[in-house]
């Protein structure tokens, strides 16, 4: 599990602000990028107009910020 989060940590470490929050946002962006490279999903994007986006759900407020 630690190895899976290492790229998000590297992306978030130099950023100002809360490290955990920045890692979550970085992981969302990395996941969206990986999904966009998937051959099946790429075809659905091209043929059906599927949109792949990443959101950050705030437990306290119930709001979602689109991150990627």
| Rounded CA separation 32/66 (Å) | 11
Domain locations in the chain?
2-66
Q: Which tens digit of pLDDT belongs to each residue from 4-54?
A: 899 999 999 999 999 999 999 999 999 999 999 999 999 999 999 999 999
Helix axes 2-12, 19-37, angle to 10 degrees: 110
Kindly tell me if the per-residue pLDDT of 1 is higher than 80: no
Q: What pLDDT is stored for residue 35 in this prediction?
A: 96
Model confidence, pTM: 0.86
Kindly tell me if the per-residue pLDDT of 2 is higher than 90: no
Q: What pLDDT is stored for residue 68 in this prediction?
A: 86
Higher local confidence (pLDDT), 2 or 30: 30
- For the chain, helix (H) and strand (E) counts, in that order, are 3, 2
């Amino acid at each position: 599990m630690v190895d899976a989060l290492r790229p998000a940590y590297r992306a978030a470490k130099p950023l100002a602000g809360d490290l955990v929050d920045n890692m979550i946002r970085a992981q969302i962006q990395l996941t969206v990028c990986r999904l966009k490279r998937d051959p099946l999903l790429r075809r659905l994007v091209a043929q059906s107009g599927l949109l792949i986006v990443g959101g950050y759900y705030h437990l306290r407020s119930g709001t979602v910020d689109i991150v990627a």
